[in-house]
Structure 1
Amino acid sequence: LERSCQDPKHLPVPSHESPLSLLSASEEAKNKDVISTESGIDLGPGLFFSDGKRKVDYILCYKSKKRRSQGGPAGDIEDSKLTEEEKALMREDFEAGLVEAGLQIEHDKERPNGIRFIRLHIPWPILSREAELQKIKVAVKKVSGFTLWHISKFKTHDLHLVKSPRSNCFVLGAELPLSTYLITFVPIVCQLLHDEWANYGVMHKYQPVDLIRKYFGEQIGFYFAWLGVYTQLLIPPSVLGIIVFLYGIFTVDTNVPSQETCDDNLNITMCPLCDGVCDYWRLSTVCSLARASYLFDNGATVLFAIFMSLWAACFLEHWKRRQMCLKHSWDLTSLEDQEVLKPLCHEPDSLDIEDHLSGYLINVSTLLFLIFVTFSAVFGVAVYRICMLSVWSMNPDPEAKASVRMTVTTTGIILNMLVVLVLEEVYGAIAVWLTELELPKTTEEFEERLIVKSFFLKSMNAFAPIFYVAFFKGRFAGRPGDYVYVFGDYRMEECAPPGCLIELCIQLSMIMLGKQLIQNNVFEVLIPYKEEEKRPKQQLDKDYVLEPFEGVGSEYMEMIIQYGFVSLFVASFPLAPAFALLNNVIEIRLDAAKFVTEIRRPDAVRCKDIGIWYNILCGISKFSVITNAFVISFTSEFVPRMIYQYMYSTNGTLNGYTDHSLSYFNVSNFPPGTAPTTTLITGVSTCRYKDYRDPPWKPDAYTLSKEYWSVLAAKLAFVIFFQNLAMFLSMLVAWMIPDVPRSLREQLKKENMMLMEFLLNQDQEPAAPLCLPAQEGPRPVTACLDRATPAASAGSNRHLLLLLWFLLTLHHPPAHIHLLHHEHQFRHHLHNPRLPNQPHSPKPPVNYLH
């Protein structure tokens, strides 16, 4: 059954094709005033067998269909690969195997047809044996019961899915500590998570990470721990970003370029925005745009961008330290990587190179096509803006003409956001299909490849419109009299005189906020709420139709994309960390409510870290240094203003910068048909445009001036300086902050010393079992060693091995991770230096030292 394509462990629930599907038992505890773990009060048929004593640990469910002779016409029965008789035989074999292994089974007698449930109970001896085989370190001392008052069911459902953590030790091989089940009552754990975690009234509190891990497993525990660290560390950049924004508000009135842009007395006439129908316009009409641009394009933004580079390094280092503490606290330091073969419809060994090569070729060609689709979508939105600008410029209303640029920009950004949301859903499905074509052999390999493809496609889709505005818009538009056209008649779009930074800021904020708002409120709140109204009344049926758990990949992806918005373009939008912080505070509780009340309780998965997501975070952090350097240099006006102030200004100020940054164009040089047909501004002989070019009265008219090359050289020099400075400071921060906290290193040293001391004492007491004293918290060593002490002839070998281990631990504190990785092999060789009846050999065993 495990090697079959119909393996229920890898099929979604409910499944109409699988002979057997997995579903956790329902927590059917109704509203009661008092619930006691020892009083024997009836907690409902869903928690116990019919005898009221044996507790339900797991539930199997399957679809029972009427046979062809009992039902209607053949067309009413779904076609399936297996007949009902074959599925029934497979279920009988599977259940017989469970009974033979020691599990106790009870069938649901109330449902002769339709969805049927099978309750499972795992006796304590079976659990103890499996915990020993899987090296799960748990408490075995019995604790007294307790009484809980005022327990009530949730608003959406009853306590949703009972699946005791201890049952995972056998049924699916997930290694959860048994102490959770021994010291508490599982519905009470869910009740605590609902009240103290999945509740918007506790947003100000820290997450109960240990309780999340005990109830859902290490994989989900690591996700919420990482999300909590990320959200907590967003507080400093959020505060500083608000300060940068307020600095721009308080100093905008003293900004000379903004004042010159808003000064009507300068009488600066700008060239038309389109050919023929567009008129000349005054620079003062974009006064509000210039002032808004300064709010995000000021000197404080540069310092904030450098700070964000340091913040990214601190965030990664802080998470490594937090992750190391969690690994020690959750007893994961000695966890070995176990790759699970992915169920295929044929044996992996039978695949030849041609089978893999075809999948790789399809992957490459499909990815190239999707890249083309993404940039085509960006180009299509750009064409939309170009066409709408020409059409709306024909409006005779002067007020409509004055706001045409902002109107086109806003509608274009909204269209971009909708395209991003649609393509994101499409790319997610395509990534799964492409990964399956590669035929990965293990589940871990499948997940890593899927994550890489999904991140590549979704990040490209989310960031492509922003990269276009930041680095391409207006760069290839040309100049008056020599514009670049698309489709023969439409000019390429240009940036406003204050620059493209304000448009980049608007696009970043709207895509970031709109994407998260729609995803959180529509996909995670409204749709589940509507589906909840359709659920049947019976509690078992309610739990059966709950959404199956599809992994934390989508949750990680959403936050990683947000991290990209926060770090990659923070120089253009200092308020991005603040918006991300507000979103995450709600996101944590929203995800918590979803895990507790909206989806089936997932199977616990043990893991040592967040996996490949950490590598993606490191890549984004390093790439953000480059993007912020280019945004400050080529998108903002910071470098041109500095060059003018220190090279061309007569008094060392920015007075005259606006006139210096605009070039002249003789209106008589317009090609035929491109000059304005009608104009409200008479007597125009020259108009101005944003560029550094020689004026028409010079011999080399309209060629790039020396000021252009000076500014370009300064921009490139700033990119190199900023990148090296930020990289150096990031590496310095990473070097100064150790990966393992000092307190944890001291604790590990202490535990290793205690272990060595007790092992040495055993030489004097051969018959006594080797046990460590009780201490709070999990330890990276087993709690009790009940093997007999080896013969005295192995004493010298024992002392030598312990001395070597102690020296390695002292001189290399992080080495405990690798040593404990082979802890059980070490104990085996230490207590069994040679087999019985084997002649003594002077060579000590060395496998444990690897």
Structure 2
Amino acid sequence: YLEVCVLAHGSNGIGFIRLHIPWPILSREAELQKIKVAVKKVRRLIVICASSSLILCINSLLARGVYVSAFPLHDVSRTKLLHEEWANYGVMHKYQPVDLIRKYFGEQIGLYFAWLGVYTQLLIPPSVLGFIVFLYGIFTVDTNVPSQETCNDNLNITMCPLCDGVCDYWRLSSVCSLARTSYLFDNGATVLFAIFMSLWAACFLEHWKRRQMCLKHTWDLTSLEDEEEELRPEYEETLQEKKDKLKAKSKKKVSYRSLIVSYPFKVVQMCLLCVQIFVTFSAVFGVAVYRICMLSVWSMNPDPEAKASVRMTVTTTGIILNMLVVLVLEEVYGAIAVWLTELELPKTKEEFEERLIFKSFFLKSMNAFAPIFYVAFFKGRFAGRPGDYVYVFGDYRMEECAPPGCLIELCIQLSMIMLGKQLIQNNVFEVLIPKLKKMYRTIQEQKGKKRAAEDEENEIEERRPKQQFDKDFTLEPFEGVTPEYMEMIIQYGFVSLFVASFPLAPAFALLNNVIEIRLDAAKFVTEIRRPDAVRCKDIGIWYNILCGISKFSVITNAFVISFTSEFVPRMVYQYMYSVNGTMNGYTEHSLSYFNVSNFPPGTAPNTTLISGVSMCRYKDYRDPPWAPDAYTFSKQYWSVLAAKLAFVIFFQNLAMFLSMLVAWMIPDVPRSLREQLKKENMMLMEFLLNQDQEPFAKSHGLLRPATAQPLHQPHQVPADRHTRPPDSPGVSDIGLAQPILSLAHAGGTFTPTSATVSVAQLGVPAAQSPQ
């Protein structure tokens, strides 16, 4: 009953064939075979093929190079509707038509856009609150005592040089603007916002579970069973080759584990992963060395204004360099993850996707967050002190944080990488590159037509109007939803892991996602080939990754507030060391003294514009040079350290407790859905009881036979519906009514109708095409 129609044979050697089962044939066969609608679970017929070598599916043909591509054709009328209702920026204020998306693309893509819509919608509360926290910092910065003391020229605080020899002493008031900017993100409201974000993450996960349950019920996915997974063609081919070789030698039966699982290969794979980790941290260390070197070079500039801005200039250029390295390594790591997964030869496609997701997420998240982790938890921790600095490459000191702390640099680093990554990915990788690839394929097709021989058949082919399969063949192949999820998951990490340092991160993510939804919609409708509809119950392993990031974010935010920001040291000073319980004198308290006569030879400034300096100050809690234990950690240091550790424990337990409380209070299934499911179960039980009682009643003449209206599921074809095509992507739509395969090989012309699936074949004569 499979119709094979030769659609076209192009002069460039690529042709198309249509394979499909017409709807009238499906309806007729359903009537002839008396297929009834099931009202209860029945055992399905399972046909087992004894030899896997006899299985010849389209995936095997694609893997062997018989066909170059296989894809369903776009339905122009439905894509036009999707473009009007979804894939244009004029409807950004409207909700996504997830039912239309699901009907056209299937449940897998429908769930992705539904999840993206829920995530974007729930970003509104933290965006508003983060903006309020930022405004609070703006309105209270003039009353902040540490910032006022930093900007006070009358205090005349002289700081120690930033580098050896060429760097001069400098005044603390020169970093006044940096101190004021740092307070905008490092204030008391940030701590409350970090606790709120922990609760928000729990609410987001619970809200998505409820939304997912509603979609599963609406789309009839609650009873979806996991089908038997199909073996990957690459796995079958390799397995058969190894079996043939080993059987020829030993004449013994060999197992899958002895063939595929290779422990030396696992060792090699782990070594490659370690190399990639080393490359990532080497890139971070290389950028740090760049900042150290440039700080020394630019400090030689005799211009006082240039010297005053040297720290900000070095920081900004280093962050831009970090962003470029992250973008380049992300593309490299994506290709390496695919290559390593293919070398493993996973047995099924699902297993391949899971392993690829794990490797890609591990490598890309490490690449994206490594520079941020370095600034947040390592920069300035191992720099040493004046007279006893830690050096790299013999002559260069490890970089230090500014007196206001490293939080402002962490904020700039996070914002630059997050915004730059999203802007470049949206504009270059998701828009520009697909358009360039489409243009390249179109140009190659035109060149192939021009090079073809000018015979009568090719002249007819060139005059043929361009059909839908021609247009779809020039589109970008669909590569799955994994890259789309990966981009949003990394963004979720930026929003949640370091939100204590950048409260505006949710607002930037919200603005990006509002554009991202319509950008992805336009890409799916106009820029890529129509993907095969795939039924799935949930978003899979991505939910577990979201849960892991949410829990890990509590730990990172606790350490950022304790060890990166100045919140805990300020509280310790105010309640333990302040004379009047205020922040007056905090700047003097947080700086230690160093006697310039204790500089090792060659490390003191060669020339200085500040004369008469006997003592310089540096950011640390150490005893002064006149104390018995000069330059050792003071009691204040240990007090602050104990307070930091106590705050980490308190913050982590409080956030975890509140998150679990929120998760416990919000049920996974909405009340309306529970009542609906209960009502449907009662109706089904009543129907089954009536079905069982009718034969008994008829035999005793107790009642007349009644015609019962059977219940049906969306993926089943009732007897009264065999005369019209389906309008939902159940089995009847994507598996039976839709399989119109256009096989691109050599010969014929056809104008496809309805939803067609296109398979492109290169260099295979029509007579040899498998049917």
Shorter-chain TM-score category?
A: 0.7 to 0.9
Cα distance in 1 for residues equivalent to 2:399 and 2:584: 29
Distance 1:156 1:325, change over 3 A: closer
Q: In structure 2, how many angstroms separate the alpha carbons of the residues matched to 1:370 and 1:583?
A: 30
Report how far residue 440 of structure 1 moved: 1.3
Shift in Å, 1:123: 2.1
User: 4+ residue stretches of structure 1 with deviation over 6 A?
Assistant: 129-143, 151-158, 532-538, 779-783, 786-797, 817-821, 844-850
- Asked whether the equivalents of residues 560 and 617 of structure 1 are also in contact (C-alpha less than 8 Å), the reply is yes
Q: Decide whether aligned partners of structure 1 residues 152 and 507 sit closer, same or farther in structure 2, where only a CA change above 3 A counts.
A: closer
Q: Distance in 2 between matches of 1:542 and 1:483?
A: 65
Q: CA 1:136/1:223 → structure 2, altered by over 3 Å: closer, same or farther?
A: farther
Deviates more, 1:133-142 or 1:288-297: 133-142
How far is the alpha carbon of 1:788 from its aligned partner?
Answer: 20
Inter-CA distance 795–418: structure 2 relative to 1 (3 Å threshold)? closer
Task: Between 122-131 and 322-331, report the one with greater CA deviation.
Answer: 122-131
- Corresponding residue for residue 624 of structure 1: 553
Q: Give the SS at the match of 2:730.
A: helix
**Aligned equivalents of 1:266, 1:820: Cα separation in 2:** 80
Contact 2:15/2:743 (CA < 8 Å) preserved in 1?
no
1:589 is displaced (CA, Å) by 0.1
Q: Name the residue aligned to 1:766.
A: 695
SS of the residue 1:119 aligns to? strand
What is aligned with 1:795? 730
5 Å-filtered alignment, 1:191-590, equals: 192-337=81-226, 338-343=228-233, 367-528=273-434, 540-590=469-519
Could you say if the C-alpha distance between residues 819 and 266 of structure 1 is closer, same or farther in structure 2, counting changes exceeding 3 Å?
A: farther
> CA separation of 1:486/1:751 partners in 2, compared to 1, >3 Å: closer, same or farther?
same
* Alpha-carbon distance change, 509 to 493 in structure 1, aligned in 2, over 3 angstroms: same
Change (3 A) 1:388 1:137: farther
Q: How far did residue 762 of structure 1 move?
A: 2.1
Q: 1:794 to 1:323 in 2, by over 3 A?
A: closer
Q: Distance in 1 between matches of 2:170 and 2:462?
A: 57
CA contact (8 A) 2:70 2:743 kept: no
Alpha carbons of structure 1 residues 201 and 669: separation in structure 2 relative to 1, 3 Å: same
The Cα of 1:155 is off from its aligned counterpart by 21
Deviates more, 1:283-292 or 1:118-127: 118-127
Conserved 8 A contact 1:302-1:632:
yes
> By how many angstroms is 1:525 displaced?
1.8
Residue aligned with 1:207, SS: coil
Post-superposition Cα deviations, 1:572-597, rounded to whole Å, max 9, x if no partner, equal 00000000000000000000000000
Distance 1:744 1:820, change over 3 A: farther
Shift of 1:336: 0.8
8 Å CA contact retained: 2:533, 2:729: no
1:786-826 deviation digits (Å, cap 9, x = unpaired): 999999999999xxxxxxxxxxxxxxxxxxx99999xxxxx
Deviation per CA, 1:179-232: give whole Å up to 9, x if none.
xxxxxxxxxxxxx11101001010000000011000000000000000000000
Deviations 1:126-168 (CA, angstroms, capped at 9, x unpaired): 545999999999999999xxxxxxx99999999xxxxxxxxxx
Structure 1 residues 592, 439: CA separation in 2 closer, same or farther (over 3 Å shift)?
Answer: same
Counterpart-to-counterpart distance in 2, 1:396 and 1:152: 64
Question: Could you tell me how far apart the structure 2 residues matched to 1:372 and 1:698 are?
Answer: 43
Deviations 1:365-387 (A, max 9, x none): xx111111100000000000000
Measure the CA separation in 2 of the matches of 1:722 and 1:620.
Answer: 17
Q: SS at 1:653's partner residue?
A: coil
CA distance, structure 1, for counterparts of residue 82 and residue 728 of structure 2: 55
Maintained 8 Å contact 1:334/1:820: no
Distance 1:820 1:301, change over 3 A: farther
- Conserved in 1, the CA contact under 8 Å of 2:30 and 2:722? no
Q: Secondary structure of 2:70's partner?
A: coil
Which structure has the higher relative contact order (CA within 8 Å, separation 6+)?
A: 2
* Pair 1:153-2:87 in alignment: no
**Change in 2 beyond 3 A, CA 1:261/1:460:** same
* Structure-2 change in CA distance of 1:138 and 1:373 (3 Å): farther
Contact 2:206 2:663 in 1 (8 A): yes
Question: What is the alpha-carbon distance in structure 2 between the residues aligned to residue 576 and residue 671 of structure 1?
Answer: 44
Q: CA deviation at 1:541?
A: 2.7
d(CA) in 2 for partners of 1:441, 1:152? 22
Aligned mates of 2:767, 2:219 — CA distance in 1: 29
Alignment: residue pair count: 619
CA deviations on 1:637-686 (whole Å, 9 max, x unpaired) are: 00000000000000000000000000000000000000001000000000
Alignment CA distance shift 1:418-1:782 (3 Å)? farther
The 1-side partners of 2:645 and 2:364 are apart by 30
Residue from 730, 736, 742 that aligns with 1:818: 742
Change (3 A) 1:547 1:791: closer
Is this contact kept in 2: 1:595–1:601, CA < 8 A? yes
The whole-number CA distance in structure 2 between the counterparts of 1:434 and 1:492 is 36
Structure 2 distance, partners of 1:324, 1:609, is: 9
1:754 is aligned to 2:669? no
Rounded Cα–Cα distance in structure 1 between residues aligned with 2:422 and 2:610: 46
Distance change (3 Å), C-alpha of 1:390 and 1:139: farther
What is the TM-score normalised by the length of structure 2?
0.74
- Specify the SS of the correspondent of 2:695: coil
Change (3 A) 1:670 1:430: same
Instruction: State the alpha-carbon separation in 1 of the partners of residues 574 and 731 from structure 2.
Output: 79
d(CA) in 1 for partners of 2:399 and 2:371? 14
Residues 152, 378 of structure 1: CA spacing in aligned structure 2 closer, same or farther, 3 A cutoff?
Answer: closer
* Shift in alpha-carbon separation, 1:690–1:794, aligned structure 2, 3 A: closer
Cα 1:433–1:129 change in 2 (3 A) is farther
Does the C-alpha gap of structure 1 residues 341 and 679 become closer, same or farther in structure 2, counting only changes over 3 Å? same
Deviation at 1:119, TM superposition (A): 2.3
- Distance in structure 1 (CA, Å) of the matches to 2:184 and 2:414: 15
Residue aligned with 1:376, SS? helix
- Helix, strand or coil for the counterpart of 1:136? coil
Contact 1:384 1:412 in 2 (8 A): yes
C-alpha distance in 1, partners of 2:277/2:166?
36
Query: What is the deviation of 1:636?
Result: 0.1
What's the secondary structure of 1:550's corresponding residue? coil
In the alignment, is the contact (CA less than 8 A) between 1:334 and 1:780 conserved in 2?
no
Residues 641 and 502 of structure 1, relative CA distance in 2, 3 Å threshold: same
Q: 1:571 to 1:793 in 2, by over 3 A?
A: closer
Asked if the contact 1:193–1:596 (Cα under 8 Å) also holds between the matched residues in 2, the reply is: yes
Aligned-partner SS, 1:818: strand
SS of equivalent to 2:18? strand
Paired residue secondary structure (1:153): strand
Contact 2:596–2:616 (CA<8 Å) still a contact in 1? yes
* DSSP-derived class of the 2:692 partner: coil
Which secondary structure state, in structure 2, belongs to the residue aligned with residue 633 of structure 1?
helix
C-alpha displacement of 1:764? 3.7
Question: Over residues 605-626 of structure 1, what are the superposed CA-to-partner deviations in whole Å (9 max), with x where a residue is unaligned?
Answer: 1100000000000000000000
- Cα distance in 2 for residues equivalent to 1:224 and 1:796: 21
1:17-75 C-alpha deviation (Å, 9 max, x unpaired): xxxxxxxxxxxxxxxxxxxxxxxxxxxxxxxxxxxxxxxxxxxxxxxxxxxxxxxxxxx
Q: Closer, same or farther in 2 for the Cα pair 1:136/1:217, shift >3 Å? A: farther
> Do the aligned partners of 2:17 and 2:744 also contact (CA within 8 Å) in 1?
no
Q: In 2 relative to 1, CA 264–313 (structure 1 residues): closer, same or farther, beyond 3 Å?
A: same
Q: Say whether the 8 Å CA contact 2:72–2:531 is kept in structure 1.
A: no
1:765 to partner: Cα distance? 2.5
Contact preservation (8 Å) 2:72, 2:529: no
Superposed CA deviations along residues 504-559 of structure 1, whole A, max 9, x for unmatched, are 0000000000000000011122233xxx9999976543321110100000000000
Q: Which has the higher helix share?
A: 2
Instruction: Point out where structure 1 has 5 or more consecutive residues left out of the alignment.
Output: 1-112, 144-150, 159-191, 344-366, 769-778, 798-816, 822-843
**SS of residue matched to 2:683:** helix
* Per-residue deviation, 1:760: 1.5
Q: Is the 8 A contact 2:16 2:743 kept in 1?
A: no
CA 1:754–1:255: 2 relative to 1, 3 Å: same
Cα distance between partner residues in 2 of 1:745 and 1:818:
44
Is this contact kept in 2: 1:156–1:597, CA < 8 A?
no
Following TM superposition, by how much is the alpha carbon of 1:766 offset from its aligned partner in structure 2, in angstroms? 3.0
Taking structure 1 as reference, are residues 605 and 795 closer, same or farther at Cα in structure 2, changes over 3 Å only? closer
Aligned 8 A contact 2:137 2:184 in 1:
yes
CA–CA separation in structure 2 for the residues paired with 1:796 and 1:608: 15
User: How far is 1:433 from its partner?
Assistant: 1.2
Which position in structure 2 is the counterpart of 1:121?
20
Contact 1:333 1:780 in 2 (8 A): no
